[in-house]
Amino acid sequence: MDVKEITLEELDTEKFIAEKVREISSVVDDGVAINALSGGVDSAVVTMLAHRALGDRVKTYFVDSGLMREKEPEDIVSVFKDLGVPVELINAQETFFGALKGQTDPEDKRQAITRSFYRDVFAQLVRETGAKHLLQGTNYTDIEETVAGIKRQHNILEQLGINPEEAYGYRVIEPLIQLRKSSIRKLGKALGLPEETYSRPPFPGPALAARVIGEVTPERARLVRSATTIVEEELSQSGAFQYLAILHEDKVTGIRDGRRDYGFQIEVRCWESTDAKIGSPTRLPYEVLDRLANRITTEVPGVVSVTYNITRKPPSTIEAV
């Protein structure tokens, strides 16, 4: 891998920020750039760097793929409005669900998401704005997993032999490519992001699609979204690195009101980790697990089974897809 990691111990925050601001200004020169904000820590940090470097010559977009969490698009736009960064919401739900239709293989689903973002949505935004560059928050773990062939991370292009300029008509700027999550959080703090943004649990670029096993339809996205809301409400005080709900492909037999109910299965995962590279399941109190099971089976229509993942990463991974 020809990208060299900068560890948390090596990171000089102020120097790094100044360097990246200079680099972004020099690469974009007197042109304009577009910036992809997903609401996660990485893209939030890139947004602040880009804004410092380019001011109103960078246009920041939040792509609503239909795979985001409850109220996420509105919340993100409002957080950045308070920081003086205008964010435009792009409704691309049809594009994403169209690309995911009939796809069940995990890597095919990831590829469909990559194409929807880069070939469909960003390429059109580039044409509309006249931008030649796209800024995004790829981090060191993303590249590492893709290069190792574990998962094709949605934002990896060059390491997979894709030249974005040839394939999509723009160049990609990735200021955080040498850093892992803990360093990116430190930068977020230094750049003035609110604590709830820089300390937010990570959320994957493919969003809830990484948490739906099998075909991702609007209905199945809605199901996992409702379960995610409950998991996040119940586990936000757990101090864990990341917690999530997964919708299984198989249904199982259950009972509701004394009758057979062939329903959905939700798996809850809650991780202890510092960099997402390795992880172990949080030893949640049984009462918490019990409350999760009760709430998910009563509040999410059609769910009859809730399980808790007790496997470490490796061999498990954090997301299911």
Distance CA(177)–CA(161), nearest Å, equals 17
- Our CB check for ligand XMP shows the closer of 65 and 242 to be 242
Nearest to 273 by CA among 176, 202, 177: 202
319 binds ligand XMP (CB under 6 A): yes
Torsion of CA 118, 269, 265, 149, to 10 degrees: 40
By CB under 6 A, the residues from 253 to 292 that bind ligand XMP are 276
Stretch that binds ligand XMP, among 59-67, 74-82, 97-105, 146-154 (CB under 6 A): 146-154
155 binds ligand XMP (CB under 6 A): yes
- Our CB check for ligand XMP shows the closer of 143 and 193 to be 143
CA distances from 262 to 251, 253, 265, 290, 296 (A): 6, 4, 10, 21, 16
- Our CB check for ligand XMP shows the closer of 100 and 304 to be 100
**Contact call for residues 136 and 43 (beta carbons, < 8 A):** yes
- Taking the CB of residue 60, how many other CB atoms lie within 10 A of it? 22
Distance CA(273)–CA(317), nearest Å, equals 12
Q: What is the contact mask toward ligand XMP in residues 199 to 228, using x (rule: CB under 6 A)?
A: ---x-xxx---x------------------
**Contact call for residues 181 and 144 (beta carbons, < 8 A):** no
Stretch that binds ligand XMP, among 29-37, 88-96, 152-160, 191-199 (CB under 6 A): 152-160
- Our CB check for ligand XMP shows the closer of 188 and 202 to be 202
Distance CA(228)–CA(163), nearest Å, equals 35
- Our CB check for ligand XMP shows the closer of 64 and 142 to be 142
Compute the least distance from the CB of residue 106 to ligand XMP, in Å.
Answer: 10
Q: Of residues 20, 151, 180, 185, which one binds ligand XMP by CB under 6 A?
A: 151
Distance CA(288)–CA(123), nearest Å, equals 45
- Our CB check for ligand XMP shows the closer of 57 and 248 to be 248
Would you call 4 helix, strand, or coil by DSSP? coil
The site for ligand XMP, by CB under 6 A, has a size of: 18
Applying CB under 6 A, the residues found at the interface with ligand XMP are 141-142, 145, 151, 153-155, 202, 204-206, 210, 242, 276, 313, 317-319
